[in-house]
A and B are shown apart, each in its own frame.
Chain A
Amino acid sequence: MLPAAMKASSPALRSRLNPSIKWLIGIGAACLVGVLGLKLVFDNLQDELNARSVNERARLFIGEEIVRGITGIEKDIYLLAATTNPAAVRRVNRSIDIQLQKLRHDLTVLKEGGTVRREVLLNIEGRDEMVREATYVADTEAGRHVMEVIEIEPLLDEIDEKTVGLVALLMKGWEFQENRDSAGFLALHDEIDVFLKHLPPYFARINENASRLFFDSSARLSELETRLKLQRERLKLVELGVMAMVILLAGLGGIGFVQRIDLANRQLRDAIEEMRDAKEEAERASRAKSEFVSRMSHELRTPLNAIIGFADLLSAEPLSASHQNFVKLINDSGNHLMELINAVLDHAKIEAGGLTLEKIPFDFQAAIDAVKAIVNERASVKGLEFTAQISPQLPRYVVGDPTRLRQVLINLLVNAVKFTERGSVELRIAPDEGQIHFSVRDTGIGMDEKALGRLFKPFSQADDSVTRKYGGTGLGLMISKELIEAMGGRIDVESAPGVGTVFWFWLPLQAADVLDPGSIESGRESGKLTSLVPGRVLIVDDNRVNLQLASAMLERLGLAHELADNGVTALARIAETDFALVLMDMEMPEMDGITATQQLRAREAAQGLGHLPVIAMTANALQEDRERCFAAGMDGYLAKPVSLAALQAELRRLFGNARPAVAVHAAPPSEKAGLIYDRAAALAMMGDEELLDEVAGMFVADVPGYLAEIDAALAAGDKDKLARAAHTVKGLFATFVSPAGQSVALQLEQDARAGNLAGCGELAAAVRTHAEALAGALAKK
């Protein structure tokens, strides 16, 4: 329900936000295109106008050259009139010709385009002349007339005629002079005067026409510059306008965007609200479901226990073979149903998200040993070989959830045993790139591709015939997969029909930082403790063996002590007598150690009493247990099995100016895995063979009671009672350094505490096996 709501709302929000962003981008892009477009248009216009201005200046330059040429020719013609011999005439004529050629060239450039040069003489030292030139691009627009060319060109032709005419007159004059014909010479002189009189209007006309070019070009240039100026002003205006438009659009866009964001936020809030409601609803539904499943499981389990119990009783009665068979069927069906209920409960818990994984340091080796003990028994019953290859490189202590790890391993291994008729089951555990790699291999019936595809799905086994033949809930693998994934790992499988199956899984279990209990110094200075502990010690424990053990240890240390078997009694004793120290167990009937300590501290505060040191002495060896103890106001902590040395060190720490606190953990289980218990280690811990024998006798006498307590709690489905009973037995196994028994009892306690009753039957049976074996071994001694 929750994911669906989230899925439904997210695209909707995105789709509401997207148009805003698209609009903003669109407006921005449009403004950019507008600005760039106008800028380019105006830049191009300006460039064109600039080019035209440059061209017009070149035209003016050509005009200047034409005027200079005309003036030069006019000057030369008058110079020609003053010549006195043919050589001078030729020289002036050449000058006129050169200037005429240049004039014609310049006019052609005006018409067709090209470059016009002017060589200017200089009187600068080192530089005699300079060249000015201008390149003109002719106006090629169709039909335009180049008026200067049209008007001036024919006049240039006349220059030739004028020059020829003048030269002819001059030659005639020189002839008259040579012939001494004064009358002819005078008449010719009049003719020359008239000729020269006609020159000024002629050159005036050419100059006028050339000047018209100036006027025209200047007018054009002026127009171009005006247009250029206008364009610049327009560009500026456009830029300002565009800027204003951009600001306006950006502002509007921004307002729109903010409004949309606001809307989106509101919708998001609504959606979140909706999702929260949905989540709460889902959680309520999930809780209701879990409660229902839990209640139903309990309700189902109670009559089921009766069915199984009475079936057990009935099976002990003398019955006919067929009735025996019926009873066996009832028993088997009941057990299967119980297993199914427990699995359904687990699955429901995981599905409802109610699974809380522990992240605690635990003894990885011990957990594996416990699993091995269970599987080994099963395998040997079926005549299968069970091997476990545990890499020595694995850490002893890791951080994780030991209960769930054992659950997964037992499920896979028990499955492997179940589906293997002959051959072997193999467990391999090794480190793998920062993770721990587990593999469970069997030589069983195996599965084909189709069956593999159905694995890890609820109520799916390879096929129905498998279920009929091998039984099982069909939930185990799915729960295992869910647990592995919840622990941050992954699982894979490979199988071949008739060959076998191998399951792999990886878990990111990090090594735990655990101090070595061996670092605690031994108790040679015991005698001195009497002076450190100023008074009597109260030992509080509900277990007779533990009381006896602690009592013996205090005697060895020379400390006077009294006993109490639960929290209520202890508080009463403390009220009556002055004690120097309390050694407090955690798990006790009536009142547990935590509560007793809290009440003690409350009483001290209320009555202004002095602080009575309390040391926890418990088989709850986890870090969180330690923290609970100190949080309740305890001053020290000893994990069972408690060695004399550890007790001594803790007393020294508490009462003397001893070394800083050292974390004391349960003594490591014996490496001698084949032994039922490690007598030497137990003796080292107690320090006294007589005490060991005495305590062992107590254990042998009491153990049936403890086991009965476990069975009763299990049958009633009372997890708290089961956990407490397992806890007591665990402490006893620890006392005699019986690691296999201790591991199994620890697992039973943890499973019971976690409400994971599915595998508790198996564990209880294993505890019984180990306890009976230990009792047997102790009795023999």
Chain B
Amino acid sequence: MFEPVFLAQQALNGLSFGALLFLLASGLTLVFGLMRIINLAHGAFYMLGGYVGVVIAGLTGNLLLAVVTGAIVVAGTAFIVEFVLLRFVRGQELPEVLVTVGVSFVIADLCLAIFGGDPRTLPASASIPGSLVIGDLVYPWYRIFVIAVAIAIGIALAVVQNRTRIGAIVRAGVDDREIISAMGVNIRWVFTGMFIVGAALAAIGGTIGSGVISIRPGIQDEVLLYALVVVIIGGLGSVSGAAVGSVLIGLIDAFAKAWIPDFAYFTIFAPMALVLVLRPTGLFGRTA
């Protein structure tokens, strides 16, 4: 139970799950930071991306192609959702959230209709074979690849956010929408773009994650819960908060599942409750 190999294995499990959570939570938190929407269809975007990715991976055996196709399909869906539905209710907090709930219903049910109810996992042909072996520690390369992808995307997000003009526009939009609109930026299209990027991140998470957790009906609610807990802990709107929260929740979840499986949900909830009581805006959240 406390052997070094076991601990290392669980730590890696936690990190790879945390990596997946980061892909999910970063999109959720970015969209919230800019648009003040909690997108409850985020889990459904993950699901749709995962299904499309698994199907494409099964057809071509090419993981990159699967990820890209999944992301494009979901980005297209997100565009329709944002452009056709969300623009009608812009600025009204509750209706915005509820529309995404309805969208989640529809996407999840159509996924069930199209892809069936059986759990789907990434086919071996598209996965990365083999395992890392250090002494007694055997760990699949694929999960290490998941960690690497999350780190790469995290760095890319940070660079875009802090070093580019687009990032500057987004940061300005977070701080003061009216001023940035007055300066000639069409903030509505910035919103649309961010919503699409957030959804695409969820889709990437879905396809890559299908090699770790199978995609099945109901997965949309499950991953949404984890993503919400992560962003509550990290602070809504903060990407660095999402990163810290993901690693924290990933590790806690992995060790809790190994040691006290009966309380698996409880253990991710406890730190969230603690954060809410001590720092309601999250670890990295700004006070409103």
Q: Does B associate with A? A: no
B residues contacting A by CB (< 8 A) are none
